[in-house]
Amino acid sequence: MVEVKTLEDDAEIKFLEQRKLEALRRRVKASAAQVKKEKTDREVVEELLYDRGDEVLEAAYGFYPTQTEAMVKELAAMIRGGRLTDRVSGGELYSIFRQLGLRFRLKTSIRVQDRGKLVDLSEKLSRQGSE
């Protein structure tokens, strides 16, 4: 016996396919959003840094990458756990590294105002010596 499909059966099949496709889209969208929300340890720590804290962290990664990664992981755990809520300045972060015995140099410069512009102190002193 030959089964005859009606227009009604075809419409039901299309409706079911669309419903499944929409459910699949929602699931993919939800999982993509969940992946985006999961921040790395470094991103979590960088959000709390201010006042050249990002420069200190970058310099620490340059000198001691494995030790810095371990420290960032621990700081991120403290932040996520709610034990660390205050912002951390660059000076405080540098002090933490020094207390752990990780010493490194930061690029620093002293700038002063000269004739309405900011110039390096060494440049200003050399100008005064030549005048």
3-class DSSP state for residue 38?
Answer: coil
Assigned CATH topology for domain 40-131? Helicase, Ruva Protein; domain 3 (1.10.8)
pLDDT of residue 58: 92
64 neighbors 25 (Cβ within 8 angstroms):
no
* Phi, psi of 45, deg, nearest 5: -70, -45
User: pTM for the full model?
Assistant: 0.58
pLDDT tens digits, 23-71: 888 888 877 766 666 788 889 999 999 888 899 999 999 999 999 999 9
Handedness of CA 109, 104, 99, 73 (dihedral sign): positive
Q: Where residue 115 falls among pLDDT bands split at 50, 70, 90?
A: confident
Question: What percentage of the chain has pLDDT greater than the value 70?
Answer: 87
pLDDT tens digits, 96-106: 999 999 888 88
Based on C-alpha coordinates, what's the Rg of the chain?
A: 29
Question: Residue 2 above 60 pLDDT?
Answer: no
126 neighbors 112 (Cβ within 8 angstroms):
no
Handedness of CA 101, 40, 56, 64 (dihedral sign): positive
Residue boundaries of the structural domains of the chain: 8-38, 40-131
